[in-house]
């Protein structure tokens, strides 16, 4: 059956001389893969060269499960130009793609995650801190994937956590003062950081992108989310290694 949808290109692999295999996160079909013939080489039509993290309208022939779809058209809708002329923004955008690719299986659909990815690419194209966009993206993606537990009550005794807490990756939640000895490897979360996470998960991207974050909260958040995301992925992301290398 012929289908059409909007999709963001997550991955592109060359196939033989003139074809590519595209991995997309689409609005209506979630994560999907398809072969696009004639997308490379001297005979490739102008404008028929799909690029990473671009938004496209895709026309494809849907195959049965286990077979690659066949993409006949991939019309560019947004190229996110400002991302491409700035190394830091490019690496963060690649990181968003890699993270979505890692948490979503082929065939998984989520319009929320599609909109999140699209919004993150739009925001990181603006003159805002790419780091802040990355933190919001991580919190919202973890929330939408069902990984992020609520942070107001202790995961072990259910008492309300007042003030700072310790996040236990092993227990999958926050520990109150009385319980924090249960996991000495817990990650410290100050009240300010907990409040920020709670606000991000409940508010729109637009709203939280304007929130000011103190340097301390920013650093704590980065450390926590790095450990939290790594724990749930169980394999290192290439973009994270690269971000470390170039010290971003």
Binding residues vs Zn ion (CB under 5 A): 154, 156-157, 176, 179
By beta-carbon proximity to Zn ion, the closer residue of 70 and 153 is 153
Q: Are 147 and 201 in contact (CB under 8 A)?
A: no
- List the structure tokens of 53: 């993290």
Which of 94, 180 has the CB closer to Zn ion?
180
The nearer residue to Zn ion, 18 or 190, going by C-beta atoms, is 190
Distances (CA, A) of 47 to 44, 51, 96, 165: 8, 10, 25, 52
Instruction: Say if residue 80 is exposed, middle or buried (CB neighbours under 10 Å; 0-12, 13-18, 19+).
Output: buried
* Distance in Å, CB of 182 to Zn ion, minimum: 8
In the complex, the smallest distance separating the C-beta of residue 81 from Zn ion, rounded to whole angstroms, is 50
Nearer to Zn ion, 157 or 207 (CB): 157
Instruction: Output 158 or 234, the one with its CB closest to Zn ion.
Output: 158
Burial 141-160 (b: 16+ CB within 10 A, else e): bbbbbeebeebebbbbeeee
Give me the least distance between CB of 213 and Zn ion, in Å please. 27
Smallest gap from Cβ 190 to Zn ion, in A, equals 17
Residue 215 main-chain phi, psi, to 5 deg: -60, -40
Least distance in Å: CB of 232 to Zn ion? 23
Per residue, the 3-state secondary structure of 103-153, as one string, reads HCCCCCCCHHHHHHHHHHHHHHCCCCCHHHHHHHHHHHHHHHCCCCCCCCE
Q: How far is the CB of 166 from Zn ion (least distance, A)?
A: 10
Token pair recorded at residue 203? 């508010």
Nearer CB in complex with Zn ion: 150/206: 150
């Amino acid at each position: 059956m012929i289908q059409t949808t909007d999709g963001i290109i997550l991955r592109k692999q060359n196939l033989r001389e003139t074809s590519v295999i595209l991995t997309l996160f689409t609005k209506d079909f979630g994560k999907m893969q398809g072969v696009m013939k004639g997308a490379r080489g001297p005979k490739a039509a102008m404008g028929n060269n799909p690029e990473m993290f671009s938004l496209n309208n895709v026309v494809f022939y849907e195959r049965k499960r286990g077979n690659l779809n066949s993409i006949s058209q991939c019309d560019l809708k947004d190229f996110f130009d400002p991302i491409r002329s700035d190394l830091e923004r490019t690496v963060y955008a690649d990181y968003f793609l890699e993270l979505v690719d890692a948490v979503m299986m082929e065939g998984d659909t989520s319009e929320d995650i599609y909109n999140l990815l699209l919004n993150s690419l739009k925001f990181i194209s603006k003159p805002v801190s790419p780091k802040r966009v990355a933190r919001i993206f991580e919190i919202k993606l973890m929330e939408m994937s069902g990984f992020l537990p609520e942070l107001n009550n202790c995961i072990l005794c259910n008492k309300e956590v007042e003030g700072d807490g310790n996040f236990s990756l092993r227990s999958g939640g926050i520990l109150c003062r009385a319980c924090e000895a249960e996991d000495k490897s817990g990650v410290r979360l100050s009240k300010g950081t907990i409040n920020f996470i709670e606000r991000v998960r409940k508010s729109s991207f637009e709203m939280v992108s304007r929130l000011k974050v103190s340097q301390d909260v920013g650093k704590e958040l980065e450390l926590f989310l790095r450990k939290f995301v790594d724990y749930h992925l169980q394999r290192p992301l290439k973009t994270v290694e690269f971000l470390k290398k170039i010290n971003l």
